[in-house]
Each structure stands twice: as C-alpha cells, then as structure tokens.
Structure 1
Amino acid sequence: MTDDRFYERAGPFSLADIAAHVGAAVQGGDAALPVRDVASLDSAEGGDISVYSDGKYAPAFAATKASVVITGEKLAAHDHACALLIAPNPRLAFAQVGHLFYPPALMKPGVVTAVPVHPSAAIGEGTQISAGAEVGPGAVIGRDSYIGNNVVIGRGVTIGDNCRIGPNCVITHSLIGNRVVMGPNNSIGNQGFSFVPSLEGLLRVPQLGRVIIEDDVELGSNCTVDRGAIGDTHIERGVRFDSLIHVGHNVRIGHHSLIVAQAGIGGSTTIGPMVAIGGQVGISDHRTIGAGARLAARSGVTRDIAPGEHVGGYPARPLKRWHREVATLIRLAKSKKSDTDQD
C-alpha cells in the first residue's frame, strides 16, 4: 500500500470498471468488488490489486492476500486464492491501473507565492534553513540539521537529527535518518526509469514507492537515488557514496557498503553489507551482490555475485581469472607484433 504522506489516491473502483478500463476479463470474482489500491504480491492486503507476470513468483502468487491479481491465461492456471483479471499483457494492464488510481496532480495556473517553510512542516530546534530553500507540507526535519541554499524538500519527507543537506538538493518521497550527509546537487526520490510498450508507445510505469535512507549515510555530489516502483529503494546504515552515482528503483544496499564515482545500479538489485563497488561499475537489474563482494572498477555485472567474491572485467568474472586473461592477451599481442616486425 502506498504512503499517504506522498500520494493522493483516486477510487475505489469496482472490479468491472477496472476490467473495462484495461480490456481484461474477470475470472472467479464479483464484478462489483471494490478495489482500493495497487500493491505487490507480497505486500498486498484485502482490497488491493496486484500483478503476476513471471512464473518465478508463483509462491508469492499462491500466498498473496490481494483481492485481485492481473495475469495472463497460462499463468492463471497456477495456484491462487483470489479473483483474476486475464489480460493479454499483464504488465501493461497493471501500469494502466496504476495511472487510474494515481492520476497526475492538477496544476494551479499562475505564479505561486514562495513559502520557504510550509505552515504544516515541523523544523527541529537548532536547524538552519538557508536562503532559497523550500520545505513542503507535512515535512519533518529534526534537530541541529543544516539545509543548504535552494534545497527543495517535498511533501511528507522526513529528515532526522544532525543531518547536512548541501545546496541544490531535491528530496521527495523519502524518509531519511540521523547524521546523513549529502553534498550539493543530489536528487533523492525522483521517479524511476520503467516503461511498458503499448500500441501508443512507451507507457511509464507509475512509481509509487519511497526512498529509505538509514542513519550515518554519506553521499557526494550529483547522485541520483530513484524511489521504488511499488515498495522502497533502501539504503542501509553507514553506506558511503562518492559523486555521480545512480541507484535505480527498488534497489537495496547493505550496511557500510562503499560505492565509487560513476557507478550505476540497475533496478531491483540487492547488494549485501560491506560490499565495495569500484568506479564506473555497471550492475544490470534484478541482480544479487553477496555480502563482502568486491567489484573492480569498470566491471560490467550481468550475473549474481557470491558473498566475498572478487570480480572484474566485462562481463564480470573472478578477478584472478580476468587478470590472467588480460595478461594472456597482452602476451599474444606482443608476440603478434614481434612476428610482424620480423616480416
């Protein structure tokens, strides 16, 4: 279920109305059933609608508490205990349902008067709000924190005690712990990069989650942490970011991990604790990086990495093997050059 501090939900809608909206067929449910929200299979409760589009999630489909699940004809044969909406493209239908429940916010034409701190926001004792900063409705900032020039803190955001937020940061849809440090120009809580092809083009998948940043996390400058699609992007305590790092939606980064500049982490990747990620590393989506792993600079990670494993190269492979392969190529190149010189 979405966090009401950050989102305004339409509805509820009847199952029949939703089916008509996405062009799906109702199976095993009352067409008049009221549906109140979208959710993942794991987090759904009664009254929610979810999606099942990949057989690897069959256990979650069987155990979900969702009242309705959107799926395809073949996957509908798997064990379940809920009503179904049968759609040709379940992911597309679920994205359409997300937009039904969460339409774009209405604009207010005209020039909006600047309000540096909204009357409903709460600012802790000893906290400095610098010139040009804006603190949105319902936001909460703890004690002895520093908010730099031109920082934008969105509706409902919470920031703990003794934090330092550098100039020009934009923070939305986020819950931030104590003693968090950010350099300038960070974007926290923006929507993730997720689209579904449709006959009209690419439909953006609604991003309805949050960013959770635990205590004692530090970020350099110009980093981007996208909020979750459904569920959260979660950065555990003590993580250290260099500058120019991108974290995709629904990523989880384990405590005291270290990430060097220009790394990019694909959506729904899980990184264990105490992982070291070198500069310009690219990690594809839905990967698992085990605790204590080491990823050499410019590695391209397209598979899961075991706990404690050291990898390098593209595609990333065991570090010693990669070093041997590089050394072999160098020897072969030298040998080829020597043969050419003799000719």
Structure 2
Amino acid sequence: MPDPRFFDSLPALSVAELAERIGGDVMRGGDRQVSAVAPLGSAGAGDVAFLGDRKFIAALGQTRAGCVILPAASLEAAPADAAIIVSDEPQAAWARASTSLHRPVPLLETSREDAAEDDTVVFEPGVVVGAGARIGRGTRIGANSVIGPGVQIGRDCVIGYNVSVGFALIGDRVRLLSGVRIGEAGFGAARSKTGPVDVPQLGRVILQDGVTVGANSCIDRGAYDDTVVGENTKIDNLVMIAHNCVIGRNCLMAAHTGISGSCIVGDNVIFGGQAGIGDHIKIGEGARVAGGAGVLADIPAGETWSGYPAKPIRQSLREAVWLAKQATGKART
C-alpha cells in the first residue's frame, strides 16, 4: 500500500469494474474486491499486480496478489487462486488501475506553526507548507520553497531558495541548495495502442542524515519502492538520480552525474563529472567512476572504471593509447 501521508486510497472496486475501466477481459474472479496496486513480489490479497515480461514468470507463480493482469499467452502460469484480467498491454492496464485506486494527496496549505516542531524553525518569505508536513527544530526553509503534504524534515536542516520537496522523508542536518527538486515523479511510461501511458509513481524519497544536494539537482521518488540516499552522501549541482535508486553512505557525485532507475550504489563510491550510469546497474563499495564515463555493466567493489562504454581504467587507457597510435600511424602513411 502506498504511504497514506502522500497518497489517498480511492474506493475499492470489483475486478469486473476495474477491467471495464482499464480495458481488459475478466477470465475469473470478477466479483473479487481490490483496493490497491502492487508489484508481483509484494502484492497481497487485495492488490492488483501485472506480468509485463516473461522473465518474471517465476514471480507470477509465487505471487499472493488478489488479481493479476497478464497477456493471454501467460494464462497457464497464473496462480490458481488469483482473479485474472487478460490484456495485451498489461503494464499500461496496470497504470490505469493505479489511477483508479490511488491519487496523490493534494497540496492544501497549512499553518507554518502547525508544521514546525518549535519556534526555532525559520520560514523565509513565500514558503508554502502542505497539510501534515512536519519540520524539525533548528531547520530553515528558504524563500519561495514548497514543502508538500506529509513531508517529514528533520532537525538542523537548511533548505535553499525555490526548492520543492514532496513524497519525502528527510533526516537531520540535510542541506538542499537552491532549485533542488525532491520527490518528483520518476520517468516511467508503458506502451499502449493509443501511445505511451504514464506509469504512476507511488514510492517515496528517503534522504538520510547529513546528505547534501547541490543546486538544481533532481531526485525522483520510487515507482513503488523508495529512492534512498545514504548518510553523509554529498551531491553536486545539476545531478540526476532516477526512481528506485539506492545510494550508499559517504558517496560523492560531481556535477552532471546521471544515475538511471533502479541502480544500487555501495558506500564510499565516487563519481566524476558527467558520469552516466545505465539502469539496474550495481556499483560495489569504494568503486570510482571517472568523469565522462558511460557505465553499462556492474562495477565490482574497489575498482576504478573509465571510458565509454566504461571499463577498468587500465584497460580503458590501453585501448585509448592503441587507438591513438593507430590513428597517428595512418595519418603518417
């Protein structure tokens, strides 16, 4: 179930009602009531899950979802006790189901005094605070910043000018410099007959104690699970961290680093400027990514990689030297 501080749950629907809204065909269990969406692995009896790729067929067989949306070709693998909706665009249908069962809590401004832990909290001019937000002792919120409904901000934090924070839990001593965007929807779209469909992003952002995020950087909320940045990690200006990433403690990210969705980064990892990381990549503890590197494969702990596509730095440098010699040799001939 999405965090109720950030998402309202809409009235439950029967599987038959849901199928009519999302454009699917009920194969069984049309009378069953469902009230939420969830991934196959974590879905419960009242949840709707989907199978979008055959590589998750094992998870389909083990799911406890009350209803599963899947293509007709996968019917034989469906659990016997689940209601079934057949669709030839299951992810898009699941996205539509999400908007039928959940919606973000709207931004309704509340009293700043109600949000503040005590009178040491400072609100500069133009600050907007949503209902249910809480801000810890000694924190300062910069001019024209927006703190969304339900957001929790710890003690002794510094929030710069024109910052927006939504769908987020922020620890103590966190610094968000001007223009930072925390908790915007991650980039997710599903193909459908009528064109791409936005996949609702129902997760959160968690910034642990001591994190710094530089000016105009963006950290997207998770698609369903959380995007997490570990203690004391320092992020430069103009950095992008996509949905579902888990970043370890004491990491350093130079400007223009971009980390795609669902990456896992260990503790003490360093990223040079303009490093780009592909989705679902794992980077081991203490690894280093050189500036401008394009990482398309997992990096073991402690290694330094560079180049595009990125490789262990000695291999990358050898290849660069060889290529330079070949080019020079051809030029002379």
Q: Report the TM-score when normalising by structure 1.
A: 0.90
RMSD, aligned α-carbons: 2.1
2:286 to 286, 289, 292: 292
- Give the C-alpha shift of residue 66 in structure 1: 1.8
Whether the aligned pair in 1 keeps the contact of 2:116 and 2:137 (CA below 8 Å) is no
1:222 to 216, 223, 228: 216
Which residue matches 2:33? 34
Whether the aligned pair in 2 keeps the contact of 1:40 and 1:231 (CA below 8 Å) is no
> Could you tell me which amino acid in structure 1 is paired with residue 64 of structure 2?
K
Which residue matches 1:22? 22
Q: 2: distance between equivalents of 1:234 and 1:3?
A: 15
Which residue matches 2:50? 51
Q: Could you list the runs of 5+ residues in structure 1 that have no partner in the other structure?
A: none
2:271 to 267, 274, 277: 277
Q: 1: distance between equivalents of 2:284 and 2:55?
A: 21
Whether the aligned pair in 1 keeps the contact of 2:170 and 2:209 (CA below 8 Å) is yes
Which residue matches 2:147? 153
Q: How does 1:1-343 map to 2 (within 5 A)?
A: 1-27=1-27, 29-78=28-77, 80=79, 81-102=81-102, 117=111, 120-339=114-333
Whether the aligned pair in 2 keeps the contact of 1:289 and 1:305 (CA below 8 Å) is yes
Q: 1:224 to 1:178 in 2, by over 3 A?
A: same
SS of alignment partner, residue 69 of structure 1: strand
Whether the aligned pair in 1 keeps the contact of 2:236 and 2:255 (CA below 8 Å) is yes
- Give the C-alpha shift of residue 229 in structure 1: 1.3
- Give the C-alpha shift of residue 42 in structure 1: 2.7
Q: 2: distance between equivalents of 1:89 and 1:260?
A: 39
Q: 2: distance between equivalents of 1:274 and 1:54?
A: 34
Q: 1:55 to 1:147 in 2, by over 3 A?
A: same
Whether the aligned pair in 2 keeps the contact of 1:118 and 1:137 (CA below 8 Å) is no
- Give the C-alpha shift of residue 44 in structure 1: 2.0
- Give the C-alpha shift of residue 191 in structure 1: 0.8
Q: 1:75 to 1:222 in 2, by over 3 A?
A: same
Q: 1:214 to 1:130 in 2, by over 3 A?
A: same
Q: Could you list the runs of 5+ residues in structure 2 that have no partner in the other structure?
A: none
Matched-pair identity in %: 38
Deviation per residue, 1:269-318 (Å, 9 max, x gap):
11122211111011122222222221111111122222223211111111
- Give the C-alpha shift of residue 143 in structure 1: 0.7
- Give the C-alpha shift of residue 105 in structure 1: 7.6
- Give the C-alpha shift of residue 120 in structure 1: 4.8
Q: 2: distance between equivalents of 1:318 and 1:163?
A: 38
Deviation per residue, 1:101-158 (Å, 9 max, x gap):
2358889xxxx9xx67357534334111111111111100011111111111010000
Whether the aligned pair in 1 keeps the contact of 2:110 and 2:131 (CA below 8 Å) is no
Whether the aligned pair in 2 keeps the contact of 1:289 and 1:307 (CA below 8 Å) is yes
Whether the aligned pair in 2 keeps the contact of 1:122 and 1:138 (CA below 8 Å) is no
Q: 2: distance between equivalents of 1:143 and 1:121?
A: 11
Q: 1: distance between equivalents of 2:287 and 2:59?
A: 29
Deviation per residue, 1:155-202 (Å, 9 max, x gap):
000000111111111001100011111111100001111112223222
